Amino acid sequence: MTFTAGVDVGSLCTKVVILNSEKEIKSYAILRSGAVYRGAAEAALDEALKKAGLDAKELSYIVSTGYGRSRVAYANNEITEISCHARGANFISAEIRTVIDIGGQDSKVIQLNEKGQAVRFVMNDKCAAGTGRFLEVMAGALEVDLDEMSEISFQAREDIEVSSMCTVFAESEVISLFASGYTKPEIAGAIYRSIARRVTGLVGQLGLKERVAMTGGVAKSKGMVRALEAKLGLTLIIPPEPQIIGALGAALFAYDKAPSCKNGNSS
């Protein structure tokens, strides 16, 4: 039995996926990246190995990706997150032609061809607007956690707008909306719609091609998914665990490189 691993070191979280020789997910781990990416990569791999009941020596090949991919000392190779997200999304569904990934510090839109390869992409990485970090700050301004912010957004009785996409100004705007008498559910809904506008703008730069998948930790937010689906006018494909798609893609690239897989000794 051959095992390969993909490691996605993001700005906020580090993810590891271990595949077996049948291209099945044997285990995965998600940990906060913290300030030391190398340590996070090692800890996440240790956790994934423990869940799989494996030793590191049993891994045939390891590929790293993500913001801190160069910090993964044990990786055999590194590949960009654009390619890895495309590969992982295609593995989930061959019908996917657009991937929207909202990560901790950036958001990106990737177009795929019929082979599941990334052919074009656009990224917002200049500021926190439209990212997981933006949502964390807004949840703090509302004095709720991320899960609660998602849930209460469905209780809004009125649609209002948060116009600023600068994190600092948006936080001030939220405080002003409170002072004007608007409720937490209404402001939460406005926050999600503001991110949906930003992401839809990125999609517009490439041109919308269906079907569309959403990956990254923010895809776990029902409030965000609803707002984005309403803005795009379609139903998004949400993987069972959207946060590991980049690591899954890296593990699949590792599978291609594993000697036993290349030699045809495993399926």
Q: For residue range 244-254, what is the model confidence (pLDDT) as tens digits?
A: 999 999 999 99
Element containing residue 251 per DSSP (H, E): helix 245-257
Predicted local distance difference test score (pLDDT) of residue 262: 56
Predicted local distance difference test score (pLDDT) of residue 267: 33
Give the residue ranges of the chain where pLDDT is below 50.
264-267
Show Cβ contacts of residue 139 under 8 Å, excluding neighbours closer than 6 positions.
Answer: 145, 146, 148, 149
Q: For residue range 18-70, what is the model confidence (pLDDT) as tens digits?
A: 999 999 999 999 999 988 888 999 999 999 999 999 999 999 999 999 989 99
The bridge status of strand 59-65 relative to strand 3-9 is parallel
Q: Could you say which of 1.10.3470.10, 3.40.640.10, 3.40.1170.10, 3.30.420.40 is the CATH number of the domain covering 97-236?
A: 3.30.420.40
Predicted local distance difference test score (pLDDT) of residue 265: 43
Residues of the chain with CATH 3.30.420.40: 1-93+241-267, 97-236
* Helix 167-179 with 184-206: angle, nearest 10 deg: 150
The domain covering 1-93+241-267 belongs, at the CATH homologous superfamily level, to ATPase, nucleotide binding domain (3.30.420.40)
Strand, coil or helix: what is 202?
Answer: helix
pTM: 0.91
Predicted local distance difference test score (pLDDT) of residue 261: 62
